[in-house]
Amino acid sequence: MIVRFLVTLPLLLLSLAAHELAHGVTADRLGDPTPRLAGRLTANPLRHLDVMGTLVLVATFVSQAGIFFGWAKPIPVDPRRFADPQRGMLLVGLAGPLANVVLAAVAAGLVWVTLDVSLMIAEALALVFLLNVLLALINLVPVPPLDGSRVLGGFLPRSWYPAWIALDRYGTWVLLALLVLLITRPEVFEATLGRALDFAFETFLPA
């Protein structure tokens, strides 16, 4: 397990960094220089790591509890720089999960390529596939401050939008509640995200 951990951890950290980098690049393209000025438009995972999010990733991985995840340091974004803040945040929010979907697709392809070369490498890539699918699914849950709330907010009536984004102040508690729910009530995970993950494995990875 130690060897697998040492092989897999860098790939998982890169997955978290790619998620945040996608947010930053999208914001920069839409006219907000905040991520670039903060030095976050880089693929260097050290620039994106969140200490607590990394510790949670390591702890859940080592625990072998059946689920593992973590998070990176959020990209700073100033919606006022966008021509249309509501639409801009929709695109920024969608960019992170889409990056994870792309990485999951690449990881799945590499699993097929490496399966006959090294089982350990194939298993590590399968875990990268798992994490990226899981990151995309969790972040698309439409509750603040997850990316899904930005996507949903982009379709709300403009008069509702200020009240919706004001809910971000409770974001830390939402993430904590989600973490506790997934760990303490595994049946909830199995009935929702678990089924989606099973479908992804059965569809895209070798048996």
27 against 4, higher pLDDT = 27
Q: Which residues contact 106 (CB under 8 A, 6 or more apart)?
A: none
Q: Mean per-residue pLDDT for 142-160?
A: 92
**Predicted pLDDT of residue 200:** 92
pLDDT higher than 90, residue 85? yes
**Predicted pLDDT of residue 69:** 67
Nearest to 103, CA basis, from 141, 82, 138, 134: 134
What span, in angstroms and rounded, lies between the C-alpha atoms of 45 and 33? 20
pLDDT band at 92 (very low <50, low <70, confident <90, very high): very high
For residue 20, indicate whether it is catalytic: yes
Q: Full-prediction pTM beyond 0.95?
A: no
63 against 149, higher pLDDT = 149
Contact 118, 30 (CB under 8 A): no
pLDDT higher than 70, residue 64? no
Question: Is the backbone of residue 159 left (phi > 0), alpha (psi -120 to 50) or beta?
Answer: alpha
Structurally, the chain folds into a number of domains equal to: 1
Q: 3-class SS at 1?
A: coil
Lowest mean pLDDT among 39-43, 103-107, 182-186: 182-186
pLDDT higher than 60, residue 65? no
What span, in angstroms and rounded, lies between the C-alpha atoms of 202 and 200? 6
Percent of the chain scoring above 90 in pLDDT: 44
**Predicted pLDDT of residue 204:** 93
In this predicted model, what pLDDT tens digit does every residue of 153-180 receive, in sequence order?
A: 999 999 999 999 988 888 778 877 877 8
Q: Which of 20, 187, 190, 202 is catalytic?
A: 20
Q: Which domain holds residue 71?
A: 2-204
